[in-house]
Structure 1
Amino acid sequence: MPDVPIRPLGLEAVETLVRDCWVRARQGTRRADRPLPVVVLLGRHGSGKTAALEHLAHRASTAPTAGHDFAAATLRPHEVAARLAFRLSLKAPHQRPLHFPRLTHGLVAVDPELRLDANNPEHAKHQLSKAMRSARKRAAGPAADALSEAVGLLNDIGVIPVPGAGLLASLLLRGIGPRLLSTVSRSGVEWYGEGSPAEPLAALVALNERSRSEDPADAERVDRLLCEAFLADLRAAHAGRQGLGRDRNCLVVLDNIDRGDGTRFLTLLLELREALIQAAPDGGCDPLLVVAASSTARAVPGPFDPGPAGLRISPGERASYDDWHDAVPASPADASWWWYAVRLPDLTAGQVSQLGAAIAPRLPEATPLVHRLTYGHPWSVLRTQRAAARLLERPDAQDRLRGILDSGPLVRDPGGAGGSPAPPTLGQEALRYLTQGMDAEQLAGLVTCAAARDMESAVNSGLLEGFSPRLRETLLEDTAERLWMVPPLSEDAGTRGGRGSGYLPADGPAAHPRRLPGSHVLQPWLRLLLTRELAAREEGGPHPDWDTAHQRMLAWHADRPGHELAVPHHTLALGRVDEVVTALRLSLGGLPTEAWLYELYAVTAAPMREPVVLTEPASHRADRLARDLAPEAYGKHRSLALLVTSLWLAVDPRNRLPSARPELNFTISASFRDLALHADANSAVLRSEAARYEARTT
C-alpha cells in the first residue's frame, strides 16, 4: 500500500479550491457541469509543488484520479491522454469504473504495429476490425487484470511508463463484460463517423494512415482527434444514466508542465474544451479538473498582467473558485481565462518552527535565523534546519550558527580526500539548486545584478555592460518568470531584529518626500547567496567585481532626479561610511523624524561585502567599523556612526544572534536614545524607536 503523503504546510486555501472544483454538485445549489479552471500551482524550485500534487491526488483518491510528470518523458499529447485514461479507468472505491471506448479504438488504429493496406480500402477495414477484435480478446481474462493492477501501482503519479498504444488499448477494455463490451465498442467506433461523410471504419483507417505520416499537420490532427476522443469519453461517462452516482469530477495532476510539452498538451485540451462547449452549449464543461505545477510562469499562457512575470498570479492563501470566476471577462478574447495561476506560499515563522520541532528538539530555537535567512523557501528551510540541528548541540552553537552558510554537507563523502574537489557548503549547494537551469552567462549576469537594489535599476543602468545583447534583453523577464522577483520588503525595525513592520508613514506630512520606487526586487535569500558570489570576484576579471558594480550603480543613480536615496545606499556598500553619516546627520535636521527613519533604514539596507566575521562579536564589529570607516564621524557624532554600522550589520540575520536577545539590539537602542538626547529631532519618536529593540519581560 502506498505511503500517505505528508500534508504540506500552508495549503489550506488550495485544498479548499480543489475540493470545491472536484465536487460536482451540492443539493442543486450549482450546476455539476459548471466551468472548471486549469489550476496551475506556481512555485520556485524547492517550493513543494510535487508534494502538493501528491497530497491533492491522495485526498481525491476515492474518485477517478490520474497523474503525469512531464519531466519523466516527452510524450505527444495523445500519448499523455492515453496514460491518463488508463489511470482514470482503474476502479476507485465506491465508484463505477470509467470506460474510454472512443479513445480506445483510436489507439488501436494508431498502433505502430498495425499497418493497413492503403491500396485496398475494404481490406484495410477488415484488418482494422480484426485488430479491434484482437484488442477485445486480449482485454479478457486474468492476465490483463494482473497486468493492469501491476502497471496501475507502478504508475501511481505517472512516473513509470505504461505500455504502448496497442496493449494500452486492450487494458482500457479490460473488466467489461461481453454484453456491455459489444455496446461500448459500437459507441466507440461510431463516434468517428459523426459529422463526417465517411463511415466510422473508413475514418479510423484514415487515422491509421495519418499516424504513420511524417507530415507535422498529420501528427497534429492525430493528437487533436484522440484528445477530443478522451474528452468525449469523459463527457459521455458523466451524462445521462451513465452519470448517475458520479458526484465527483475526475482529477488529473500534472507535474512540471514547463517541461516535456506540458503546456502544449493543456493548451490543446482547452481548445477542444471550448470547441465542445460551443458545439453543444447545453452539455456544459467536461468533468475534468486539472491541477498542474510549474516552476516558471512561462508555462502559463495567461491571463496577462502588467506585473514582472507578465502573468496574473493569485496568492495561495487567497485561492478560491470565486477568485478565479470573478476575474473572467464578460467577453473573453481568447482561451487564457481558463488558466488560474496560484502561487504556492512560502512558510511562515510558525510553520518553520513546526518543521523544526519534527527534526530536532532544540531546532525551534533557530527558527528566527532560519526564517529570516530563507524567507520561508521550503527546500532551503529544510536544508538549513538540518544543518542547524548539527550545530545546536555544540557548546559554541551561537558562533557556529553564524557560519552556517559555510558549513559542510550533511553527509560526508568518504572518498573526498586525496585531491578531490571539496564538497559544496550549504550556501554553495543552495545557490546551485535555486539557479538550476540557468546557463553560465545568465548566472554571471544575475550575480552582477545582485549589486542593485531592484532588477529594473540593474537592467536600465550600465551594470550589464560587457554581457551579450541577448542576456541584457532577457535577464529581467527570465528572472521574473522563474518567480524570483518579489515586492520590496518594508524596511524598518522589523527587518533588523526589532519589533514592528510597515509602521513608517507612506504619505502625509511625516512621510519621506523621495520614497524608493516600488519596483520588484530579488528574493532576499537568493540575493544574499548571489552577493556572496559577487564579493568573491577578483578585480580585473571578466565580470564586474564588488567595487565596480556598486560604482556603476552609484554613478547611474547620481545622474537621475528622484534617486537620492539610492546614492548613499551604494556609497555605504562601498564602505564609505563617513559620507553616509554626514548625509544622514544633515537630513536629520531637515526632515520629519519619521521620514528620517525611513531614510536611515533604506540607506543601511545596503549589502555588505563581508557581512559576518566569525571571530568578532557583531556589537564589537559595529564599533570597529565605525572607528575605521568613519573616523571623523566617530569622533564628532559617535552615536549616529554606531547606529549606521549596527543597522548595516543587522541586515544579515546571522548578526542577530542569539535569537532570544540579539546582541546588536542593545547598541542600536542605546544609539537611538543618545540621539534623542542630543540631536535636533523629535526625541519622542527616537525614544519610541529605541524601545522597539529592547527586550520585554511582560
Structure 2
Amino acid sequence: MPDRPLRPLGVQAVEDLVRDCWVRAAGPAGRRPDRNLPVVVLLGRHGSGKTTVLRHLSRRASTSPQAGHDFAAGTLRPHEVAARLAFRLSLTSRGLHFPRLIHGLVAVDPDLLLDVNSPDRARRQLDKRMREARQRSAGLIPDALSEGVGLLNDLGIIPLPGAGLLAALLLRGLGPRLLNAASRSGLEWYGTGGAQAPLDALVALNERSRSEDPADQDGVDRLLCEAFLADLRAAYHRRLGAAPDRNCLVVLDNIDQGGGSRFLALLLEVRESLARKEGGGCDPLLTVASASSARAVPGPFDPGPAGLRIRDPHQASYEDWRAGIPQSPADSSWWWYAVRLSDLTAGQVSRLAEAIAPRLPEATPLVHRLTYGHPWSVLRMQQAAARMIDRPDADVRLRGILDSGPVANGAADTGPGTPPPTLRQEALRYLLQDMEADQLAGLVTCAASRDMESAVNSPLLADFSPRIRETLLEETAQRLWLVPQLAEDAGTRGGRGSHYLPTTGQAAHPNPLPDSLVLQPWLWLLLLRELADRPAGGPYPDWDTAHQRLHAWHADRKGHLPNAYYHRLSLGQVEEVVARLESSLHTLPTEAWLYELYAITAAPMREPVDVSVSASHRADLLARELAPDAFRHHRALALLVTSLWLAVDPRNRLPNARPELNFTISASFRDLAWHTDDANSAVLRSEAARYEAHTG
C-alpha cells in the first residue's frame, strides 16, 4: 500500500498486546518468563495496513532477536522458512546459535548425495560435509554474508540458494571453542531418541529429504522445525542466570498465502511436542502474523459466518487470550489469537490529510463517510481530493471523485488504447484482487440486497452455480467484508434508521429490521456502481432484475414490509413509496413512522450523483418526475423521500459544513408537522431540528 507515517495510526492497543507477550520479566501475580505465548494474527482486509503494522513492530523490536518473512514472496517448505528465520535471528547483536538446525540443513542439502548402501561410507561423507560447512563459513562470510544481508528486507528473507549455504551462514562468527561446542550439541541432539546414532539419524534424514513421498517430506519439515525450536529453547536456557528480558519476535506477513498457515500449524504441533518431552514451559518464540482472510486461522471456532472468534483491538490482551483457553483443549486451535485491525477514525483521517495538503482536512467528512476509514482507500481518496480542494468548483469536482482518473503513480497498467481505470474501478480491483470472477459477479449481484442473508436465501442468485450460492456468504465473511448494520443518526443518514428511535415498546415499528450482517458500506457502494453498469439481458441480473427479485421475495413474507418498499424505491417507484408512507403516517406512532421512513429511504439509487445539478434541485426534479401525483397532493412528503434517498450517498451532502439537502429535509419535516396533530407535530419538529443543526 502507499507510504504511510512511520508510526501507524490507531495501533496502540496492538502494540500493548504484543509488548505484554514480548516481555519475559516476571510480573504481577508471579508471571513466569516461560509462560505460553499466543500466535497473534492481525486480520485485515486488503489495504488495511497489516504490513505497515508488522514493519512498525519489527522496528520496535530491533534491539532484540527478531526476524520476519513474507509468504506472498513465494511458497517455501516449513523447514526452509525456519532456516531463513534462524538466519535473521542470528544476525542480531545478541545473535542466537542454531547447532541442531545447522546439522539438519547440511544433511538435507540437495547437493549432498550419500551412499545409503554403505552406512560407514555415508557417515564419513556426512562428517566430511559437516567439516566443510564449518570451514566454508569462515571463507564465505565477507561475500556471502553481505549478499545475504542485502537480500533481507524489513519483514523477511528473499530465498537464499541452498541449505548448505544457509548452514554455513549460520555458523559464521563462532570462535573455535563455541564452534566445537555447538557442533557437539547439535549432533548429539539427533541421537537423543536412542534408536539410532546421531550420524545414522542424519543419514536417514538425507535419504528422506530425497523422497517424493508426502509423509517423508512432512517428516523432514517436522524434524527441522523441531530443531529450530529446540535451539531457541536451549539458547535461552543456557542464559538462565542472565536470561534475555525479551522473547524472540517473529513477524510473518500474508500467512494466507505461500503455505504460511501450514508452517505455523506445524510449529505449534512441534511446540506442544517439545514441551511434553523437555518440560520447562513454552519456547521463547512470539509470533505476530497477518492475513486478509479468516480462513488462514484454524481457530478458535465461532458460530458466525466467518467461523472464527475475532477480537477487536480494544478487547485484545494476553489475559483475554488466556481466558479463552478451554480447560481440556481438543486440538491446537487455542494457541491462535485473531485480532481485527481497526479502520481509521474521522480524526485520524484528518491527521493524514494534514500531511498531504493544507486544506485537505476540509474533505475529511466526505472521505471518511465514503471509505469508512479503510486506510488504503482513505489515502487514494485524499490524493484525488488534493487535486480538487483548492479549485473554485471544488464541491462539484468532489461529487464526481469516484469517477475521476487515477491518482499520480497509482494507476494500474492498461493496454494500448485502453482508458485508465477510474478511482472506483481501481479501488474495487484492489480490494477484491484475488476473488474469482464468478464470486465477484455474485457479490456484485448481492449488493442489491440490504443484507447478505437475504441475498443468499432469496432467488437473487438463481443464475449462479450451487457452489457460489452456498459459499458466497461464508467467503465474504472470511474476507472480513461483513459488518453489523450501522445505527447512524440524522447527521450522516443510515441504513437501519437513526439509533435514537425505539426498536421495542409501543412506539417501536411492528416490523423492525433483523440484525443481519451487511456489506461494509465502502465496498457496497463500489459494488453498486458495477451493478448499475450491467446491461439488461446479460448473463447476470442487472439492476432492475435484481431489485425486482428481492422485492417479490420480501413482499411474500410477513414482516418484510420495510425491505419490500426499500426495493420499490431502488426501482424508482417513488409514487408507491410516498403512498405507503402517507398512509402509515396516520396509523403508526410517529417514532415508528420515522423508523420506517429511514429504513425505506436507505435504498440505493442507480445513478446517485449528477454533478451537473445540485442535490437539492435534483430532489425536486426526481419528485416531479417519479411521483407526479404525490408531488401535487403530498409535496412535502415526496420531497422528503427523494431528499433522504439522495442523502444516502455522502457525495450529495456537500459542502460538509452545511449540506444543502439538510435545508430541504428540515423544511419538509416542518411542513409535515404543520399538517399533523399536536403529538405527531412535536416529534416531527424535533426531527427537523436535527437537520437544522447542520445547515450552517
TM-score by length of 2: 0.96
Alpha-carbon contact 1:24-1:31 (below 8 Å) kept: yes
For 1:523, the equivalent position in structure 2 comes to: 520
Matched, 1:562 2:577: no
For 2:18, the equivalent position in structure 1 comes to: 18
For 1:392, the equivalent position in structure 2 comes to: 389
Matched, 1:75 2:76: yes
Q: Which moved more, 1:473-482 or 1:351-360?
A: 473-482
For 2:178, the equivalent position in structure 1 comes to: 180
The 5 A counterparts of 1:201-600 are: 201-241=199-239, 244-281=242-279, 283-411=280-408, 420-496=417-493, 502-600=499-597
Alpha-carbon contact 1:491-1:601 (below 8 Å) kept: no
Q: CA deviation at 1:102?
A: 0.5
For 1:35, the equivalent position in structure 2 comes to: 36
Q: Which runs of 5+ in 1 are unaligned?
A: none
For 2:46, the equivalent position in structure 1 comes to: 45
Q: Which moved more, 1:180-189 or 1:220-229?
A: 180-189
Give distance in 1, aligned partners of 2:585 and 2:110. 79
Alpha-carbon contact 1:145-1:174 (below 8 Å) kept: no
Pair 1:311–1:187, CA change in 2 (3 A): same
Q: Which of the numbers 637, 640, 645 marks the counterpart of 1:640?
A: 637
Pair 1:456–1:75, CA change in 2 (3 A): same
SS of match in other structure, 1:466: coil
Q: CA deviation at 1:696?
A: 6.5
Give the 4+ runs in structure 1 shifted more than 4 A: 412-419
Pair 1:300–1:649, CA change in 2 (3 A): same
SS of match in other structure, 1:259: coil
Opposite residue 83 of structure 1, the aligned amino acid is: R
Q: Which of the numbers 122, 138, 142 marks the counterpart of 2:136?
A: 138
Q: Deviations over 1:524-560 (max 9, x none)?
A: 1111111111111111111111111000000011111
Q: Deviations over 1:463-494 (max 9, x none)?
A: 11121122112111111111111111115414
Alpha-carbon contact 2:412-2:420 (below 8 Å) kept: no
For 2:58, the equivalent position in structure 1 comes to: 57
Q: CA deviation at 1:196?
A: 2.9
SS of match in other structure, 2:311: strand
Pair 1:356–1:153, CA change in 2 (3 A): same
Give distance in 1, aligned partners of 2:514 and 2:191. 62
For 2:8, the equivalent position in structure 1 comes to: 8
SS of match in other structure, 2:539: coil
Q: CA deviation at 1:100?
A: 0.4
Matched, 1:170 2:168: yes
SS of match in other structure, 2:258: coil
Alpha-carbon contact 1:675-1:686 (below 8 Å) kept: yes
Pair 1:561–1:76, CA change in 2 (3 A): same
Opposite residue 129 of structure 1, the aligned amino acid is: D
Give distance in 2, aligned partners of 1:416 and 1:386. 19
Alpha-carbon contact 2:411-2:421 (below 8 Å) kept: no
SS of match in other structure, 2:194: coil
Q: Deviations over 1:90-113 (max 9, x none)?
A: 123xxx320001001000100011
Opposite residue 8 of structure 1, the aligned amino acid is: P
How many residues are aligned here? 690
Alpha-carbon contact 1:374-1:380 (below 8 Å) kept: yes
Give distance in 2, aligned partners of 1:685 and 1:224. 69
Opposite residue 13 of structure 1, the aligned amino acid is: A
Q: CA deviation at 1:411?
A: 3.2
Give distance in 1, aligned partners of 2:654 and 2:508. 32
SS of match in other structure, 1:633: helix
Opposite residue 44 of structure 2, the aligned amino acid is: G
Q: Which moved more, 1:64-73 or 1:687-696?
A: 687-696
Give distance in 2, aligned partners of 1:180 and 1:49. 39
Q: Which moved more, 1:605-614 or 1:188-197?
A: 188-197
SS of match in other structure, 1:161: coil
For 1:651, the equivalent position in structure 2 comes to: 648
Alpha-carbon contact 1:139-1:174 (below 8 Å) kept: yes
Pair 1:265–1:338, CA change in 2 (3 A): same
Give distance in 1, aligned partners of 2:442 and 2:633. 41
Alpha-carbon contact 2:208-2:216 (below 8 Å) kept: yes
Give distance in 1, aligned partners of 2:493 and 2:211. 65
Matched, 1:112 2:110: yes
Q: CA deviation at 1:419?
A: 6.8
Give distance in 2, aligned partners of 1:534 and 1:60. 47
Opposite residue 257 of structure 1, the aligned amino acid is: I
Pair 1:319–1:58, CA change in 2 (3 A): same
Matched, 1:196 2:223: no
SS of match in other structure, 2:67: strand
Alpha-carbon contact 2:659-2:694 (below 8 Å) kept: no
SS of match in other structure, 2:339: strand
Opposite residue 63 of structure 2, the aligned amino acid is: T
Pair 1:414–1:48, CA change in 2 (3 A): closer
Give distance in 2, aligned partners of 1:175 and 1:160. 22
SS of match in other structure, 1:239: helix
Give distance in 2, aligned partners of 1:573 and 1:493. 21
Give distance in 2, aligned partners of 1:378 and 1:110. 44
Opposite residue 102 of structure 1, the aligned amino acid is: R
Q: CA deviation at 1:5?
A: 7.1
Alpha-carbon contact 1:565-1:599 (below 8 Å) kept: yes
Give distance in 2, aligned partners of 1:574 and 1:179. 82
Opposite residue 66 of structure 2, the aligned amino acid is: T
SS of match in other structure, 1:158: coil
Give distance in 2, aligned partners of 1:413 and 1:169. 41
Q: Deviations over 1:53-111 (max 9, x none)?
A: 1001000111011000111011000000000000001123xxx3200010010001000
SS of match in other structure, 1:40: strand
Give distance in 1, aligned partners of 2:240 and 2:324. 34
Alpha-carbon contact 2:615-2:660 (below 8 Å) kept: yes
SS of match in other structure, 2:381: helix
Pair 1:688–1:429, CA change in 2 (3 A): same
Pair 1:27–1:646, CA change in 2 (3 A): closer
Give distance in 2, aligned partners of 1:384 and 1:419. 26
RMSD: 2.1
Opposite residue 629 of structure 1, the aligned amino acid is: L
Give distance in 2, aligned partners of 1:417 and 1:241. 57
Q: CA deviation at 1:412?
A: 8.3
Alpha-carbon contact 1:497-1:665 (below 8 Å) kept: no
Q: CA deviation at 1:672?
A: 1.1
Q: CA deviation at 1:331?
A: 1.5
SS of match in other structure, 1:392: coil
SS of match in other structure, 1:229: helix
Give distance in 1, aligned partners of 2:442 and 2:694. 45
For 2:657, the equivalent position in structure 1 comes to: 660
